[in-house]
Each structure stands twice: as structure tokens, then as C-alpha cells.
Structure 1
Amino acid sequence: MTAGGRFFEDFRIGETIRHATPRTLTAGDASLYSALYGSRFAPQSAETFAQAIGYPASPIDDLLAFHIVFGKTVPDISLNAVANLGYADCRFLKPVYPGDTLSSVSEVIGRKENSNRQTGVVYVRSRGFNQRGETAIEYVRWVMVRKRSPEAPAPEAHLPELPEAVSVADLGSACPNIDRAAFDLELSGSPFRFEDYEAGAKIDHADGMTVEEAEHMIATRLYQNTAKVHFNQLSEGQGRFGRRLIYGGHVISLARALSFNGLANAFHIAAINGGRHVAPLFAGDTVFAWSEVIATAALPRRDDVGALRLRTVATKNRPCSDLPLRQGEGYEPSVVLDLDYWALIPRRP
């Protein structure tokens, strides 16, 4: 029998959902990911660089691993979604290498019907496990899901309590101790280390990247993301926007790739504190990005890397030379993504 996905009234607080189809990641997946976004961070790009600084092999890009774990959850969580709304308390706990196999499990931790009675918001905590049963990635997301029947009675609202940010003490477990003296700044593409950044600094990443229809379709298939809003023009052509939405994770990866210009040595995403997809993105739009350093932090018991708390904002069809963010009480109309995360960067020898 075929599966039509869950609707809002099908979710139960405390329910655990084990998602289908484990996924073994390969060097081919890493190469395709690089081709889609043009990411240039040195440890993920060069085996020689990664091994020189202390990795056993070049790691899978953090966001590629995140998207794979996320994609596993889609058929059970967001197949009937209107939109993925946000993320919180996302931690990268184990490095992922080619040959590792990831699988996903989610727990329903919150739900609330919307006032239109057509949809509701569901909160889940999802975990991605490697083949040894170790948690590699853990995160919370909330998604707006269609109701099967608008007349169905509304369940009691339950909203989870989420931390404002991931604790500094919880950062770094997915990054081995690195040889900071071996972190070649010429090869990495930037002379700047942890000590060169300070809270309040704003960085215009300058470059723009136009989203192509083929690229975002390849990306969603790479992640085995089956959400109708991304790949089914027949169904979405009759919807609110009249066309397919770009997967929100595609925007995150684009912004991360663009951030290389100014943050080239921030080589590892250690945690995502929170994120919002502010507005839809479509094929043909051009994405720009800028970042603000919210805070800098030394890691407990580590002197090889420090952590930058970054707020990266992505816009569509508007360069970020004037660093747009808000207009009055809301976001400036060009903003599509507001992402708050911790990234690790080498310290001076």
C-alpha cells in the first residue's frame, strides 16, 4: 500500500518515529554537494589538508550530513507540509566521513493548530545516528502541516521550551583536536584566525549565486527529500505560490558557501542555535549573504580552536552592501533566511 504522509491531526506528543532508508555517504556525494554549492572550506575540500591538521580523512560537509538526516524525516513529518518554519538546538556531535551510514529517528515534542484551522505547526526533535549507533546530529525543527479535515477538533496546544543558544560547553565534539600550526592560511584562503574577529563585526560576503531549477531539484533528490512543495509542480502549481518552493536547506547551504568570502577559516559548523525561513525562494532568484559576529568564545579544555557565534542573513535579488535586515517591525522584503549558529575557527599558534 502507498503512504500519503501524515497530516496535522496524526501527530501525538511523545510519539517516536523511526524513519526509513539508512543512507551511506560516499566521496561521490561530497563531490556532488560541492558541485551544487561551490563550497570551498579547506578541510572538506582536500584530503591532504584535513589529514595535515589532524582529521583521519576529509570529513563530509556538516550541512550535507544535516540534509541527509533531515531528508530521512520528510516522508513521516513534512510530506504534507506547507513550509518548514525554523530550527533550534541543533548540535553536531560526531564527525561524518565517507563510508558512514546515517539513519534518523524523531520524537514529536509540540503541536499547535493555526487559527485558520486549515493547518497546524508540529515540533519534532530529530536525531541522526551513524552505523555504530552514535548520535551524529541532533536538532529541533517546526513545520506547518496541512490538516486532513478542517473540521477535525483542535488538539490541546503544547509548545516545547527551547534554549536560546547551544551552550559553549557542548561545542566541539565533532571536531578532533587540530594542529593549528599546520592550518595553512595560504591554502585555506584567508589570513584571519579566531583572534581577528570581535563581537559586532559585520561581514558582507559580496558574492551572489542565482538558483537554477535543475540544481535545487538535484539537491532535494540527493537528500531523498520527498516534500511535494519542492518537487511536484503539478500539485504546487495550484497552490499559494503557483510554483515549487526551493528547499530551505538549499538556501542555508548557499549562504554557507557564500560566507567563505570573509569566513574562510570558520571550517566547521558546531551548532545551529536557531533559524528562520523568512520568505520563499524560487528558481531564478539570486541569493546574497552577510554575517554578524554575535559573540566569540574560547572552548573549555581546548586551545586549538575558538568559536564564533554568527548570524548569517541571506537575501534574494538584493546585494547586501547596506546589510538589510528589518523594516519597521518585520523583515526587509528581500530577506529569505536568518540563521544563528556557532562555527569553529583555528586559534593562533
Structure 2
Amino acid sequence: MTTQPDFTDFELVPHGNRFESFSVDQVFDHHWGRTITEADTVKFSTDTCAWRPLYLNREYAQADGHPDIPVNPTLLLCVAVGLSVEDLSEGGGPFLGVNDVEFHRPVYPGVTVTAQSVVEDTRRSASRPESGIVTWKTTVRDAVGEIVLTYRRSNLIRSKDASRTEVAR
């Protein structure tokens, strides 16, 4: 007979920032970055049925003036949001959307991208008093510091005093 583990002795550890942790113009340099490989972009394009030959066929991309297949821009956006989660939204709360997405230049396999976010706005939620809405502008750069992507995103972020069960760590 298998017994269930007893989790009553675990310490609950909060993850991520809370609404009160954010202030306008606060800057977050997200962790070490991510190198995007050719396998990443081919698999992402295939898995999402993005059959555009530009992301799957080197000869086609080169005939279009690219030195290699470019990274699928939607993958770049997903990677960038992923780089920022630990600092911005890991504390929980619904994702409210991405706006003003601008891809500044192509990224090619083998490039490491890094991201930085700046808090643009914070406000209490009128419908959910235990939370606030935070909006950030994120800038993504390649290994030589060139801007490759910018966007804004917003999340509903829990307040420090909001009651919720934390995940045991």
C-alpha cells in the first residue's frame, strides 16, 4: 500500500514580485539570455504550422537576401517573454496581453538575445482590489547590443496582502 507524502512540514515560499514591488521607471535586466538555435526555429515553425519557407529552407532564405534562415519572429517574442517571467510575472496573476510589438531586425540561429524591461505603469485593479495591473516595455538585444525587438505587456499582479496558497519549494 502506498502512502501519500505529508506536506505539512514544508515551508511555503512566495515566488516572484508582488504589485507593491513595482514602481514606474524601475528597470529589470533579465537573466543571462538565451541562444536561439536553428533547431529551435525549425521545430517551432513546424510545431506551430508556420510553413513559410523563409524559416525552414536555407536556399529560399538566401535567395531572399538573408545569410541564413531567420529565427521565426514569433519564437523570438516567446523567448523574450520567457526571459522576463521570473522578474515580472512569476508571482502570479493573469496575462493581460502584448501590445506595440516591433521586430527591428532579423535574428539568425546562433545569436544570444538578452532582455530588459522598464515599468511604464502601475495601477490598482478596480474589479480586483487584491491585485494591480502592471505594464512593462521590454527591449530585446542581440549579442552586439543591437535592438531586435520591443513590445509592451501587462499582467494582473497579486498584492502582498492577497490571500493565496504559495507553492511549496
Tell me which interval the TM-score lies in, with the shorter structure as reference length: 0.7 to 0.9
SS in 2 for 1:59: coil
Report the TM-score, using the length of structure 2 for normalisation: 0.84
Matched, 1:28 2:25: no
2:45 touches 2:55 (CA, 8 Å); kept in 1?
no
Partner deviation per Cα, 1:299-324 (whole Å, 9 max, x = no partner): xxxxxxxxxxxxxxxxxxxxxxxxxx
**Higher RCO by CA contacts (8 Å cutoff, separation 6 or greater):** 2
| Counterpart for residue 136 of structure 1 | 148
1:82 maps to which of 82, 93, 97: 93
Higher mean alpha-carbon deviation, 108-117 vs 136-145, is at 108-117
CA distance, structure 1, for counterparts of residue 118 and residue 51 of structure 2 = 34
User: Matches of residues 57-136 of structure 1 in structure 2 within 5 Å?
Assistant: 57-115=68-126, 116-136=128-148
1:147 maps to which of 129, 134, 159: 159
Partner deviation per Cα, 1:106-142 (whole Å, 9 max, x = no partner): 0001011113321110000001110000110001111
Report the TM-score, using the length of structure 1 for normalisation: 0.42
Cα distance, 1:150 vs structure 2: 4.2
2:84 touches 2:115 (CA, 8 Å); kept in 1?
yes
Partner deviation per Cα, 1:166-216 (whole Å, 9 max, x = no partner): xxxxxxxxxxxxxxxxxxxxxxxxxxxxxxxxxxxxxxxxxxxxxxxxxxx
| Counterpart for residue 55 of structure 2 | 44
Partner deviation per Cα, 1:218-255 (whole Å, 9 max, x = no partner): xxxxxxxxxxxxxxxx96xxxxxxxxxxxxxxxxxxxx
| Counterpart for residue 25 of structure 2 | 14
Partner deviation per Cα, 1:38-66 (whole Å, 9 max, x = no partner): 21011111101010121111100000011
Unaligned runs of 5+ in 1: 152-233, 236-349
Q: CA RMSD in A?
A: 1.9
1:71 partner amino acid: G
CA distance, structure 1, for counterparts of residue 117 and residue 131 of structure 2 = 20
2:131 partner amino acid: T
1:54 maps to which of 61, 65, 90: 65
User: Matches of residues 285-324 of structure 1 in structure 2 within 5 Å?
Assistant: none
May I ask how many residue pairs the two structures share in their alignment? 152
User: Matches of residues 247-266 of structure 1 in structure 2 within 5 Å?
Assistant: none
SS in 2 for 1:82: coil
Unaligned runs of 5+ in 2: 1-12
User: Matches of residues 211-230 of structure 1 in structure 2 within 5 Å?
Assistant: none
In structure 2, do the counterparts of structure 1 residues 47 and 3 end up closer, same or farther at CA, with 3 Å as the change threshold?
farther
Q: Percent same amino acid among aligned pairs?
A: 26
SS in 2 for 1:94: coil
Cα distance, 1:90 vs structure 2: 1.4
CA distance, structure 1, for counterparts of residue 14 and residue 143 of structure 2 = 27
CA distance, structure 2, for counterparts of residue 15 and residue 82 of structure 1 = 20
Which aligned segments of 4 or more residues in structure 1 are displaced greater than 3 angstroms?
A: none
CA distance, structure 2, for counterparts of residue 13 and residue 24 of structure 1 = 30
CA distance, structure 2, for counterparts of residue 56 and residue 31 of structure 1 = 16
In structure 2, do the counterparts of structure 1 residues 3 and 97 end up closer, same or farther at CA, with 3 Å as the change threshold?
farther
